[in-house]
Chains A and B, each alone.
Chain A
């Protein structure tokens, strides 16, 4: 059995669990929509702040953040599934059965990706339905999706590393809180130039700031900081792949 076959099996099972269980599926679709509604709907007046200057309007401005947030949390939610598999004993049986164990991580990664693709499709459809406009030819939008895809994998690898070290659902906050903080310590509501004080200092060094700003550039049809954004996203994914693989070794050692 090849690594790919293991990955396919793990991915299929994870997706089957998610798509046949409304309590897992509905929150992952509804929550991004809810945040999109709450931010884009409730705070649209913020675009009138002097110096805001985002040509496509506040809906598009928040769409980018919510797409990237859904990507990151899609990865984390899949990490919850890994922890649940350890609690139920399934993951241990999987470790015994799989000849190429890296395929387990790959399988969870594929599942996280497929799960996010459903979420982002619904989110995009809703955003266009409520009148979101995209600058340029629209092709740049795929740059945003590419960033989301890498972020989704990076978050899954982070959560996977945590799940394989703790092997309990109680590690949920450890997976979730850092992702929440990194996301919200970026320019969420206004562009970086309008942030002031300590949050500006934190946002400047936050790698996700580059990703969010580049994503907004794609939606506006005037890509900016693309190289830095992809470099930051790929570096996160690479770093967390090492973290996840070491987590797998620790789970193997724990038996």
Chain B
């Protein structure tokens, strides 16, 4: 293995092992979105009787939410772990080694992406067990997993950026309510065309989280919808690109030798 790949592997392994060793970091991102899925799909099942609702299974409709919520947890995990590395001086010690800056970021995010993938597989398995039929079939499942990886990478890099700029785990945790607001003011619980209140529909339309949800939803409910996929992947790629650039810049500042 070349030295760069070796560095990335070691840091990614450390990131995964550290997450797995803290049950709260594994259980919360898996259990909380599934709990919300259970609560909402039970409570809002009657919504499927509205004219124009795209499916008669609310679980299928709501299954997109855990994917995006799981990504929010990626942000928190990546950010909090990196902030702890800053607070304990681990990052300072790393900066004294020949370790490349890019390897630090890639290693950290490698762990987050691995966790994101595990989460996506669990959410999908629960959905299938609950009787959800994936309209886009087996290739759609692969696209869903690829999307989950991209979103975890993008949001994870955002968490890393927050951690590198603030150096504080509490500040990273403070981002959670902000993301939660974005999630709730989206088409999370109802399709945009069925939102009755105009200003809420406008906010949901302007909210990029709506398109991330609709990308996942299209693969589950409608099959192959080019527009939904293009918007979802486009936004996820833009978030990833922007947050990776910001995180790289912040890391350069933080690890100035």
A interface residues (Cβ-Cβ under 8 A, vs B): 27, 31, 34-35, 37-38, 41-46, 48-50, 52, 181, 184-185, 187-190, 194-199
Contact = CB atoms under 8 A, between A and B. Distances in A.
B50 A44 contact: no
B186 to A, nearest CB: 9
Given A27-B177, A50-B49, A190-B46, A34 B39 contact: no
Contact of B50 (A31, A41, A48, A187): A48
Contact of B184 (A34, A45, A188): A34
Contacts of B190: 42-43, 45-46
Given A27-B177, A34-B184, A42 B200 contact: yes
A44 B195 CA distance: 7
B42 interface: yes
A34 B178 CA distance: 11
Of B43, B49, B199, the most chain A CB neighbours within 10 A belong to B43
A45 B195 contact: yes
Nearest to B44: A189
B96 interface: no
Chain A binding surface, main DSSP class:
helix
The list of the 5 closest CB pairs from A to B, nearest first, reads: A199-B42, A38-B184, A41-B200, A184-B39, A194-B46
A184 B199 CA distance: 26
A49 to B, nearest CB: 5
B43 A187 contact: yes
A189 B43 contact: yes
A195 B42 CA distance: 7
B185 A38 contact: yes
B32 to A, nearest CB: 9
B43 A41 contact: no
Contacts of A199: 39, 42-43, 45
B197 interface: yes
18 contacts: A31-B177, A37-B185, A38-B184, A41-B199, A43-B44, A46-B47, A49-B46, A49-B49, A49-B50, A181-B35, A185-B39, A189-B46, A196-B42, A196-B45, A197-B45, A199-B39, A199-B42, A199-B45
A216 B167 CA distance: 47
Interface residues of B, number: 24
Given A48-B50, A49-B49, A42 B197 contact: yes
A34 B200 CA distance: 12
Q: Is the interface of B mostly helix, strand, loop or mixed?
A: helix
Nearest to A190: B46
Given A190-B44, A197-B45, A42 B204 contact: yes
A42 B204 CA distance: 9
Given A38-B184, A42-B204, A50-B49, A184 B196 contact: no
B1 interface: no
Contacts of B45: 195-197, 199
Nearest to B195: A42
A196 B46 contact: yes
B205 interface: no
Given A42-B195, A188-B43, A195-B46, 13 more contacts: A41-B197, A42-B190, A43-B47, A43-B189, A45-B194, A46-B44, A49-B49, A52-B46, A189-B46, A189-B47, A190-B43, A194-B46, A195-B45
A189 B199 CA distance: 20
A250 B35 CA distance: 32
Interface string B179-192: 00100110011100
A80 to B, nearest CB: 14
B196 A44 contact: yes
Given A27-B177, A38-B184, A43-B190, A197 B42 contact: yes
A69 B223 CA distance: 38
A194 B188 CA distance: 21
Nearest to B194: A45
A45 B50 contact: yes
A203 to B, nearest CB: 9
A197 B46 CA distance: 11
Nearest to A41: B200
Nearest to B197: A41
A220 B42 CA distance: 25
B80 to A, nearest CB: 14
A225 B257 CA distance: 70
B43 A195 contact: yes
Interface in B34-73: 35, 39, 42-47, 49-50
Q: Which of A185, A189, A195 has the most CB of B within 10 A?
A: A189
B46 A44 contact: no
Contacts of B194: 45
A52 B50 CA distance: 12
